[in-house]
Amino acid sequence: MGPLPAFPQDYAAARERFRMLSAERGWLQEAHPVAASGHDEWDLTIDAARLGPAGAENLLILSSGLHGVEAPFGSAVQLAWLESLPRAWQPPTGWRILLLHALNPWGFAHLRRFNEDNIDLNRNFLEASAFDELRRGDEESNYRRFDRHLNPPRPPGRFNLFPLLAGWMIVRHGKRRLRQVLPVGQYAFPKGLFFGGHGPARSTQIVMENAPRWVGSAKRIIHLDFHTGLGEWGRLKLLSVEAPDAPLMQRAMELFGRESVEPHGGPTAYASRGDMGVWLSRRFADREYLCLVAEFGAYPAVHTLGALRGENQAHHWGDPASRSYRRAKERFVEAFVPRSPQWREMVVRQALRLIDRAVGDAG
Ligand SMILES: [Zn+2]
């Protein structure tokens, strides 16, 4: 394999390259606009590209950028894979491929985890009727006690004191409790971290509305959703939404190796609400829908949470022209997509091998 292509410079460049590479290779393309203030209607789109016969029984879905700041990585994987395919390449017999590029295009364009409304899209995949009750529950919940520490209403300071604060919170509330409460999603604090929204976001609606058409008559679906930031430096974990003894877990372990697949609620993942994979697996419960978050680790969890907190503070309360804003943003981007060439090479190569294994399963 030759040298890896560079990570895309920004959202616009990534999208242009995605469209060009998939068009050159004869993929069917579509684009779905996500409106946001400060942008023209077609500035921000979720792009899809499809290849293979409509009636194929097997479908591989590769999706990127549900968390915007992680999108340069997921997009780089999609671009590198497309680039590696000969122009006349067709999926193996019985297979169809669907690429979903930049599920959170605003977050990609602005390098935020969250979307144009501060919504964490991987906490937002719920029916519209579910949000009110969740909000009422969370207004009284444990999250309230952490909110003032996690989301202080002021710009980030000169020094990052979060590790100290985190240590104090762990002593006071216990690590397990923090892990259960913090990243699972909250529906009551719209400026807070891991806010799941007051209703389905536009990106969520696009996926929910188009999923039946995209999945079509496929009976077996493998969906790899690319993420970064959780786990050990450069290491891959495939996070399943299935219970340890579920038949789909067995299939995942056979395909990708026992050591890299983690069941729902395993040590790396959080049992979050409004998870895209959970929604898709339930929606297509009559098929074999194996949804795996392909999560590539970077920095220690406390560091990453501190970076998330600082960026959220800067976004809501900081001045974009200030040094503290720029510092918070740089630290945040580095926490999810490190500049290290070794890290980048390691994660893209692993992701490409993963795709080969998924498609290779066809043979
Ligand atoms: Zn993510």
The number of CA neighbours under 13 Å toward the Cβ of 239 is: 25
pLDDT at res. 168: 66
Contact 236, 296 (CB under 8 A): yes
62 Cβ neighbours under 8 A, 6+ residues apart: 77, 78, 81, 97, 98, 99, 100, 223, 224, 226, 355
Give mean pLDDT, residues 184-190: 88
31: helix, strand or coil:
strand
pLDDT per residue as tens digits for the range 304-337: 988 999 999 999 999 999 999 999 999 999 999 9
Alpha-carbon dihedral 323, 327, 329, 333, rounded to 10 degrees = 150
pLDDT at 236 over 80: yes
Check if the beta carbon of residue 137 is closer than 8 Å to that of residue 100.
no
Q: Minimum mean pLDDT among 89-103, 207-221, 232-246, 265-279: which range?
A: 265-279
For helices 71-84 and 11-24, what crossing angle results, to 10°?
20
Query: With 60 as the cut, is the pLDDT of residue 147 above it?
Result: yes
Nearest CA to 336 among 226, 220, 213, 196? 226
pLDDT digit string (tens) for 27-57? 999 999 999 999 999 999 999 999 999 999 9
104 CA from centroid of ligand 1 (Å): 11
Measured CA to CA, the distance from residue 36 to residue 41 in angstroms comes to 8
| Its pTM surpasses 0.85 | yes
How many angstroms separate the alpha carbon of residue 102 from the centre of ligand 1?
12
Ligand 1 centre from 67 Cα, in Å?
5
Q: What percent of the chain has pLDDT over 70?
A: 89
Confidence of residue 176 (pLDDT cuts 50, 70, 90): low
Give the distance (Å) from ligand 1 centre to CA of residue 12. Answer: 20
Percentage of the chain lying above the pLDDT 90 cut: 76
CA of 114 to the centre of ligand 1 (A): 10
Ligand 1 midpoint to CA 258 (Å): 22
295: CA distance to ligand 1 center in Å?
7
Q: What are phi and psi of 339, to 5 degrees?
A: -75, -20
Contacts of 137 (CB under 8 A, 6+ apart): 187
